[in-house]
Copies of this chain bind each other. A is one copy, B any other.
């Protein structure tokens, strides 16, 4: 039964155990591995490589699609296997090692890694490790729940290890649409004008003589844990739905809106879930990750088609998808991340992009990556790819957290990932600020009025007023621009001491 997964007989002699395959890596190799937000990653070879590092000094550079599942990133980091990691991670152990300067981390737009591989030679991939649902008669790879950068890695790599995952159903064959882009000046149009357009092959074409080893595994994807919507996320969702309804009423959007994108995590998932009870119909998605909420929308009959680079869902949801895959198969496509996140397509389709901020400032600049300007959280992911090219660029976050000690709206963001030029709508549970076409001081008024928690509203208004006395297109008091952040570090709260009046 296993062997029906490998239809290219030349690979049969390359069958190895994960342990054996892991020995084929050299200690300072550059690896390109499949996996995009826990979906479709290597479940056996990469963990075996992490184990190898327990007894042997490894110094690997690991490129992936995005974050990996289970504890793979943690084990690689903890066992000292990593020299450098890119373009995204979301693991607490790895994050700590990055912030402790034990591992170098390059935080990249998810669309950009494939470009970099064509643009500079330093990241020449030594070995690509790619999960497959099966291998075609020609020796090509049919991916599982993500495409990510796998096609670019396979093309760029000297050698390839394929991990055939029998826990994923063969039904997945056909949902992928893989197209490589040629290096400039030979690059063609990406001919996608609707979410469901297909432009490539349902497999990753590779040169079979690059294949070093084929390994079997039967571990399903590491499940996503999605917190249920709560009062705050429901409020954020409602603000967005109300805003979009008004856009429809004003004739600027139709009742099926434009293709939706939602970032990963609890808030974005909750916002999308909210659409199940909305008045909108025949929605589509052109996104990077399909979360639990995507399947809620399918089941509610609200969503007609979803394009992305991965499916990252809860354990129960993945079981349902596998059992009832025919109900979804024609409504899905998984693409390479430089296509799912292509500026060209996002702008052409007019995507409505909903992403999560760590903090934003009163002028509309957004920090998606750094705590207090220095410590990496996860990474920019695809938020920049979408925000800057979207029809509507929406950022969401709670107004406060940690028992009111943190305001997520600050005078100046401590790190800028999305500039004032690229943000249209900001939403907290307090309300929504539509800053399209506004000058900075108009934006500040809208943001302070609509998004800031009452506990911090006067404090931010005071800063804005004092800064405005000095003039300038974007009033600031540079001496105090980060005083909220430094106050938090010293006193455990961003709430400044108020003098008794």
Is A2 on the interface with B (CB-CB < 8 A)?
no
Chain A positions 373-425 with a Cβ under 8 Å from a chain B Cβ: 373-376, 380, 384, 388-389, 391-392, 414-422
| Dominant secondary structure at the A interface | loop
**What is the chain B residue whose CB lies nearest that of A184?**
B350
Is A303 on the interface with B (CB-CB < 8 A)?
no
Closest CB-CB distance, A345 to chain B, in whole Å? 9
Is A327 on the interface with B (CB-CB < 8 A)?
no
Chain A positions 346-375 with a Cβ under 8 Å from a chain B Cβ: 347-350, 365, 369-370, 372-375
Is A119 on the interface with B (CB-CB < 8 A)?
yes
The answer to whether A189 touches B184, judged by C-beta atoms less than 8 angstroms apart, is no
Is A14 on the interface with B (CB-CB < 8 A)?
no
Interchain CA distance A259-B185 in the complex, whole Å? 9
Integer count of this chain's copies in the complex: 2
Contact pick for A472, options B122, B349, B376, B436, CB 8 Å: B376
Residues of chain B contacted by A336 (CB below 8 angstroms): none
Closest CB-CB distance, A258 to chain B, in whole Å? 6
Is A191 on the interface with B (CB-CB < 8 A)?
yes
Contact pick for A101, options B101, B106, B441, CB 8 Å: B441
Is A326 on the interface with B (CB-CB < 8 A)?
no
Is A243 on the interface with B (CB-CB < 8 A)?
no
Residues of chain B contacted by A108 (CB below 8 angstroms): 421
Residues of chain B contacted by A470 (CB below 8 angstroms): 374
Interchain CA distance A384-B389 in the complex, whole Å? 12
Stretch at the interface among A50-58, A208-216, A265-273, A480-488: A480-488
Interchain CA distance A384-B384 in the complex, whole Å? 13
Is A104 on the interface with B (CB-CB < 8 A)?
yes
Residues of chain B contacted by A120 (CB below 8 angstroms): 252, 436-437
Interchain CA distance A24-B388 in the complex, whole Å? 38
**What is the chain B residue whose CB lies nearest that of A442?**
B104
Is A193 on the interface with B (CB-CB < 8 A)?
yes
Contact pick for A189, options B112, B191, B250, B475, CB 8 Å: B191
Most buried by B among A121, A259, A350: A350
Contact pick for A343, options B193, B344, B438, B476, CB 8 Å: B344
Interchain CA distance A419-B379 in the complex, whole Å? 13
Residues of chain B contacted by A392 (CB below 8 angstroms): 119
Is A105 on the interface with B (CB-CB < 8 A)?
yes
Residues of chain B contacted by A115 (CB below 8 angstroms): 391
Known: A116-B437, A392-B119. A185 touches B349 (CB 8 A): yes
Question: A residues touching B (Cβ–Cβ < 8 Å)?
Answer: 84, 86, 98-101, 104-109, 112, 115-116, 119-123, 183-185, 187-189, 191, 193-194, 250, 252, 258-259, 342-344, 347-350, 365, 369-370, 372-376, 380, 384, 388-389, 391-392, 414-422, 436-439, 441-442, 467-468, 470-476, 478-479, 481-482, 485-486
Extra contacts besides A370-B472, A374-B467, A478-B485 (7): CB < 8 Å: A86-B437, A101-B441, A101-B471, A116-B437, A187-B348, A369-B473, A478-B486
Contact sample, A vs B, 25 pairs, CB 8 Å cutoff: A100-B471, A101-B468, A104-B442, A106-B439, A120-B252, A120-B436, A184-B258, A184-B349, A185-B258, A185-B259, A185-B350, A187-B347, A188-B348, A189-B191, A344-B347, A369-B473, A373-B478, A374-B472, A374-B473, A375-B471, A375-B473, A376-B473, A384-B421, A478-B482, A479-B482
